Structures are given as structure tokens and as C-alpha cells.
Amino acid sequence: MKYITPKIKRTADGSHTLFRDDLDEAYHSYHGALQESLHVFIREGWARVAHEQPSEIAVFELGYGTGLNAYLTMAFAEAKGIPTVFRSIEKFPVHPDALRQLDYEMSEVLSPYAEIIDEVIGLSWDVLHDVSTHFKLEKIYGDILKYQGEKESCHVFYFDAFGLRAQSELWDEKVFQIAYDLLKPGGILVTYASNGAARRAMIKVGFSVDRIPGAPGKREMMRAEKPIVS
């Protein structure tokens, strides 16, 4: 496996992100990496599903990146006692040494899980691991465009690719069709983005899409739902 080692950057809420020179793109908002992930993927994604589906939640993520979304999902699954299976696909995994320097376990919400986070960083890829009492994780090394996952297998899809300018190939109908097929009827897709091209592509494959308030520093984000067909 070939790892990359992006630069580490500090964001406005004190948490860190990574920056890729080749894409001229950061992994999170400079307004705050932690608060962006909490707002977009936990509050508007996992927590909304947990309210409707409290027995067990299946999450699929496009873009494992720094692992922050996985750590936060684990923390909330443990806090709420809701079993959660989290699968995340990443084509360009970050070197474990760089991930350890991000110090996400120093935040209040993640500090109880410092030892687990260190273990997660070292976990093997393409294996489903029992990480904690209520959380299982599989880090998938691969390309979403070639992924052959079980259809209608997840309740929420975290769409966390780099922005349209940096990775335009991940914001078209092909990828949103993959997300749509992976989601169960009534499942939701959440992303930090709100651009019109992505919204139109989502609608074309069948999603019902809402623009809702974004994380601090961003006016809007999108939440899409796969309709339940009676």
C-alpha cells in the first residue's frame, strides 16, 4: 500500500486538518475541522438516522481521509449505546505517522477514546474490526468508481470527497448512483457541499435534495434522501 503524507494545518477551532499541495486542497474547512465534521456528518447524518433507527446503524463514507468522521461516529455510538458499522473507502491513504500528529484525541469529545484512536490508526485495511463495544470499522483501500458493495446496505452515506474543483470526477452521476444504490430506502446522504452541479446530479439519480444550514463559516450544505417506494 502506498501512503501519502500531506501537510498538517491548524484550523480556527483549534483542531487540525491536512493539506495536499498537489490538489491545492485541505481535508476540512479552515473555519474548524472538528466543528465541520460534527455538524455535517454527525448532527445532520448519523444523529438523524439514530433518531429513526436506534437499533443498529450502517454508515458508508467516501473519503476516509484523516479518520475524524470515523472517530466522532464511534464516540457518539458509544455515548448513545447504538451499534454502528462504519465502512469507509479511501484511494489515497494517509501515512499513520501523519494521522497521529493530528491529535484529535485532545478534543473534549474524543479524549475518552485516545487509546482506541491510536489503535484504529494502526488497523489493517479491508477487514471489519470490532473497535469498541458499539462500533465496528472497515477501512477499504480502493476507488469508489470500482467498488462493488452490497446494495441497500447502509442507512447513511457520508460524502466527504475533496471539492468539485479538485476532484470533479467524484461529483458526477456515476458516483451518486453508487451512493444511491448502497443506501437503503429512506437512507440519507450528507455532504458539506452545496454546489448546483452536484445537486442536479443527485436529483437525476433519484435523490430528494435539500439545502440546509452549513457548518460555521459555510452558508449551506446538502442532505439528500433516497425515497421509500411503496
Q: How much of the chain exceeds pLDDT 70, in percent?
A: 99
Longest CA span, the chain: 49
- C-alpha cell of 30? 479552515
pLDDT at 53 over 80: no
> Is pLDDT of 54 > 90?
no
Sheet holding 25-26, edge to edge: 7-10, 16-20, 25-26
> Domain 33-225 sits in which CATH superfamily?
Vaccinia Virus protein VP39 (3.40.50.150)
What mean pLDDT do residues 118-131 have? 98
Residue 142: all three cell numbers together: 480502493
- The 10s digit of each residue's pLDDT in 60-70 is 999 999 999 99
pLDDT digits (tens, 9 = 90+) for 27-49: 999 999 999 999 999 999 999 99
pLDDT band at 195 (very low <50, low <70, confident <90, very high): very high
The domains of the chain are located at 33-225
Helices (H), 38-155: 47-52, 68-80, 96-100, 114-121
The 135-141 sheet, strands edge to edge: 129-132, 135-141, 84-90, 57-62, 154-159, 183-191, 220-225, 208-213
pLDDT above 90 for 146: yes
Cell of 5: 503524507
Residue burial 218-229, b: 16+ Cβ < 10 Å; e: rest: beebbbbbbeee
